[in-house]
Amino acid sequence: MKKNMGTTDRVLRLLAAAVMLILYFTGVVTGTIAIILLVFTAVFVLTSFVGFCPLYPLLGINTCKKTPLRK
């Protein structure tokens, strides 16, 4: 897997995951919506640590900065 997520994208996903966890643990969201939110949280955290989002290649998105080739 080639990385396709930049640093900003990864940080924003981690922040979104933190917000979703806060909403869950404070009881703001419950039931089926809470379960769906936890699944999204897990996906956001996993993709942030790996640096690869499987949806990005399908959409033609790459937020990772290109590094110049060394000679």
Q: Tell me whether residue 45 is in a domain.
A: no
Residue 2 included in any domain? yes
Domain span at residue 16?
1-30
Mean per-residue pLDDT of the chain: 91
- Is residue 16 situated within a structural domain? yes
Residue 42 belongs to a domain: no
* pLDDT level of residue 25 (50, 70, 90 thresholds): very high
Residue 69 and residue 31 in contact, taking contact as beta carbons nearer than 8 Å: no
The answer as to whether 19 is a domain residue is: yes
User: Using CA atoms, how far apart are residues 10 and 27, in angstroms rounded to an integer?
Assistant: 26
Residues 48, 42: Cα–Cα separation, whole Å = 10
User: Is 39 part of a structural domain of the chain?
Assistant: no
CA atoms of 16 and 57, how far apart (whole Å): 22
The answer as to whether 44 is a domain residue is no
Q: What is the Cα–Cα distance from 41 to 20, expressed in whole angstroms? A: 7
Q: Assign 2 a pLDDT band (cuts: 50, 70, 90).
A: confident
Asked if 62 and 56 touch (Cβ cutoff 8 Å), the reply is yes
Q: What percent of the chain has pLDDT over 70?
A: 93
Please count the structural domains in the chain. Answer: 1
